Amino acid sequence: MHKYAIGVVGASGYSGIELCRVLAAHPGVEVRFVASDRWEGATVRARTGIAGAVGGLSYVPHARVLKAAQDCVAVFLATPAEASMELAPALLERGVKVVDLSGAFRLSDPAAYPEHYGFEHRAAGLLAGAVYGLPELVDRDAIASARLVANPGCYPTAAALALVPLLRAGLLTDESIVVDAASGVSGAGRQASETYSFCEVADDVRPYKVLRHQHTPEIAQSLSRGARKPVRLTFTPHLLPIKRGILSTASVRLAPGIGAGAPAEALRAAYRDEPLVEVLDGPEQVSIARTVGTPRAAVAVSTTDSGFDPGRVIVVSSIDNLLKGAASQAVQNLNLMLGLPERTALEPAPGVSP
């Protein structure tokens, strides 16, 4: 198999490490460089234990990324949104395809960035052409032909996989959608602070960024595209005392005249030919343990037409926030962009770190 030259920027973060781990076993790519200011000069193997050719690479500083990428076909940006906003245009100008794992290019409206990300978007001209890379729900041909793919966030991936098939089928009322989701601590990134220290996190579960999480507009955008009209959304994230994984619970209501079995039928129809999304018989079967360490999502729905709240629909989904919510989904997108089989290097499951 021909090997495509690629690079990974932000390779010392959790998502960047997972990218390196997946790519180390990818038969269709050659990782030419990995970039990290924090680990400059150290080898990938010394820092992560990853073996092979990728393990032998030494981290280069971010200041050398453009030079290092000059012979690359594509580069992953596992960087903060503001860093991606600066690097992506420079790479694209050099003819390098970009898969960006940050939120820098996920939102179509540049006016949303100051409120939700805290900065004015200085590359707003790229937003219209950035393709949102959730392969099971978007046009794969658009991903394949893209120069810039905005890799979805972890919470938005879990919510969209659960709800978009129901919205597309017109099964739900216009009532506000409520999504409660819980994530492992790695969802906050690799950082040292009192909030995420062991003694603060262990044996506790708590909400955070209530009514102000930066993924809220991304979830609303995905759901509105599925519904083909604006949706109302309340999203509440929670922090779990575990390393990784997301469990998302969505509460919606059936439209008048829709049978109780329609949501389950819609999920099965949407994912019948999608091997990386598993539709289970009931929400009680969905768990973080089922998907952690894998590139797969699990989803299930329950509907009642009697009892305390007739017409209520509960959709539960789970993913690994560092894989289907970040690195493995990014590799899915890269595979499509390079014309490779979509699941290359993703099955069997790549394993976990941390």
Asked whether 135 and 296 are in contact (CB, 8 A), the reply is no
* 177-183 and 148-150 beta bridge pairing: unpaired
| CA-based nearest residue to 169, from 65, 35, 91, 268 | 268
Pick the catalytic residue from 20, 72, 154, 199: 154
Asked whether 324 and 297 are in contact (CB, 8 A), the reply is yes
Tokens of 157: 């991936």
Which contacts (CB < 8 Å, 24+ apart) does range 72-75 have? 72/5, 72/6, 72/7, 72/32, 72/33, 72/96, 73/4, 73/5, 73/6, 73/97, 73/338, 74/4, 74/6, 74/7, 74/98, 74/99, 74/334, 74/337, 74/338, 75/6, 75/7, 75/8, 75/9, 75/99
Asked whether 100 and 84 are in contact (CB, 8 A), the reply is yes
72 is catalytic: no
- Tokens 């939102």 sit at which residue? 107
Query: What are the residue numbers of the active site?
Result: 154
